[in-house]
Amino acid sequence: MPTLFSAKGFRFRFYSNEGFEPCHIHVIGHEGEAKFWIPSCQLVWSYHLKAAEQRQILELLKEKRQFIEEAWNAHFGR
């Protein structure tokens, strides 16, 4: 489960056994977790994260969207 980067108390990672799914990122921190599709940055699900934390994550994802997509493709050989 590679951690791509950390920012503002969140770790941004993907799981190596989920290459069959479209590109997405898991975000863990602040006692919660969320999953977002990339490149749309659409929230898939969220547990124990406040709306303000989700918005903060969304802004970080928009900044790092291309980096995440490139890392996904490199990891899963696409």
Domain count, the chain: 1
DSSP tag of 53: H
Range of the domain at 29: 3-76
3-state SS class at 9: coil
Q: Please write the tens of the pLDDT for every residue from 15-71.
A: 989 889 999 999 999 999 999 999 999 999 999 999 999 999 999 999 999 999 999
Q: Evaluate if residue 77 carries a pLDDT over 90.
A: no
Q: What are the distances in angstroms from CA 43 to CA 6, 35, 78?
A: 18, 6, 23
Helices of type H across the chain? 51-76
Q: Say what the pLDDT of residue 58 is.
A: 97
Sheet of strand 3-7, all strands in order from the earlier edge strand to the far edge: 3-7, 10-13, 24-29, 32-37, 43-47
- Indicate the pTM of the whole model: 0.93
Q: What gap in Å lies between CA 18 and CA 6, rounded to an integer?
A: 20
